[in-house]
Structure 1
Amino acid sequence: MPKTRWFILNKKVSLIFITILIISILGIVKGYQYWQQSKINPEELFYSSLENTISASSFRYQIHTELGRENQASTVKGKRTPGRIYIQGTLQDTEFELISIDDKTYFKESSTGKWFAVTGNKMIESDLFVELNPLENFNFKDIPEITYQGIKKLGEEKLALLELQPNLNNQFLLTRFSDFSYQVWIDPNRKLIRKAIIEAKGLQGEQDLMKIGIELWDYNKQIKISPPQPDQLTLPD
């Protein structure tokens, strides 16, 4: 009997020790996470990440836009490399596909599957390209306040979440919306913007709302964007 009691006592002591050890480890981990988060400077993190994002040599992206009053939604996917852009998606229930290379822009005709070319870089400067360029949504006059909301998971990634209410320098958006609020997910190690959700109020009433979701990935990777083959082009009359 004494041996049995000693065994039970040893087992209880072991369980208590293991429990204390687990609690201690969890406390250390949480303390380390808090220490790591306390080191983050929201302003420095955002501006460094914005600069790295804008100066990236290449990336892929997706933009999803919802307009409340008009009950419209559009989704576009694209990729950018130096001097080259490829975009595909749906705008106002109309599918489109385009390629821009240097000073020439190619548009695909959905009815024939053929491409036609427009020479000159004026298309890049048009409102259409402003709307489809994810970086234009980060064109700010200033940002009065940036707040850090902690580390959040996006898929398998752990990203820093920032919230900001900037004053925009984007005339395309300012002509229709106001009171912009941003949630921005940033890779704190590489200092690159990975995701953003933008919400704004329209100028036509409470139901006139806008929500834009942006995702960016494959930064500085080898991305190929080629012009259409000659036999795919519609020749001018």
Structure 2
Amino acid sequence: MKKRGLWFLIGISIVLLGGIIGWLNWPPDPTKLVTHGLERLNAATSFRFSLTQHQWVEGKDRVLVQVQGEKEGTNTRVLGELTGSEVELVKIGDSTFSKDPFSKKWIKFANGQAAQQVFLAELNPLSSLQMKELGEVVLSGQGKVNGEKVWVCQLKPSVQNQMMEDYWSDFQYTLYIRKSDKMLVKATIEAKNKAKSDPMTMTLEFKDIGKKITIQKPTI
């Protein structure tokens, strides 16, 4: 009787475990998955990110943007290269500071300066993920990002970014959404230049989402 009871408990445990594993791997509704993933990332109070943008120019692959950054509340720090020039930018509240690549001194932008607004919009990773309409969303498979299991979704949305709309068309997004908490952790954006139809690829990666990050005001 004891053995029979033990085998019964083992059988129940296997069935329950199989059910849990099956539930975790059951394909979710792709539209709901993408909507939830975008909402969670936009609501995050902090994260670190990388942004790389490639464009084909006269048959050659050119790196336009290659930066890393971090966000903490309304504060942001970005470091890397923009069209071949070094850039280091810190935004603390309503104040924005830029490090001169030659003198290495920090310069404070005048509040509301037009160039500052354009600069921030171009380097804000979330601005590239704003969409008017998702369109058809396809769950194309599964994968891993930084060792974590993800769902992979593809879509051709209508974007809500004026700068992107002015210069690019035929947008195709591939979004990687972490299985464990449905958080968007990576995005690849493909598009074509409106003037010459040259292809563009942008890759965004996010990590340390929701973790404590401290961004300090530069010393001028």
TM-score (normalizing by structure 2): 0.84
Q: Does 1:97 align with 2:88?
A: yes
- Number of residue pairs the alignment of both structures matches: 202
1:221 aligns with 211
Greater Rg by CA: 1
Could you list the runs of 5+ residues in structure 2 that have no partner in the other structure?
1-13
Q: Does 1:43 align with 2:34?
A: no
Letter in 2 for 1:66: H
Q: Does 1:65 align with 2:56?
A: no
Could you list the runs of 5+ residues in structure 1 that have no partner in the other structure?
1-24
Closer, same or farther in 2 for the Cα pair 1:118/1:147, shift >3 Å? same
**Deviation string, structure 1 residues 173-204 (Cα, Å, up to 9, x no partner):** 11111100011101122121111110001112
1:164 aligns with 155
Letter in 2 for 1:106: F
Letter in 1 for 2:47: F
Letter in 2 for 1:44: K
Closer, same or farther in 2 for the Cα pair 1:96/1:39, shift >3 Å? closer
1:137 aligns with 128
2:139 aligns with 148
Shift of 1:67: 1.3
Check the 8 A contact 1:105/1:123 in 2, yes or no: no
Closer, same or farther in 2 for the Cα pair 1:157/1:117, shift >3 Å? same
Query: Secondary structure in 1 aligned to 2:57?
Result: coil
2:4 aligns with none
